Amino acid sequence: MASRKDLTRAVEFAIAGDWDGAHKIVQEDEHDATSCWIHAVLHKIEGDIGNSRYWYRRAGQSYEAYPDAQTELTAIKAALTY
């Protein structure tokens, strides 16, 4: 199971443009809702809408909830570091 620290690191990687680094972390725990949410945003960034929507469903989140991926990643990071 990915820790909050690991997931925060994944978000930081994604914000910095390290898609692969972030993806490796979230793939470690595909049952955790937050990990699935980050995974969804990563595939949104990649442009893989079908895969992204799949991960949003797994996360219990909405594809359309945020205006852009960076805003969404910032929100995820805030939730992880409250």
| CATH of residue 31 | 1.25.40
Residue 67, domain extent: 4-80
60: left (phi over 0), alpha (psi -120 to 50) or beta: left
3 state SS of 6: helix
The Cα 35–Cα 49 span in angstroms is: 17
pTM, rounded to two decimals: 0.95
**Rounded mean pLDDT, 40-51:** 96
Q: Is the pLDDT of residue 62 over 80?
A: yes
CA–CA separation, 75 vs 82, rounded Å?
11
Under a CB-based contact definition with an 8 Å cutoff, are residues 13 and 21 in contact?
yes
Q: How many domains does the chain have?
A: 1
In the chain, the amino acid numbered 16 is: A
How far is it, in rounded angstroms, from Cα 51 to Cα 35? 14
- Average pLDDT over every residue of 40-63: 97
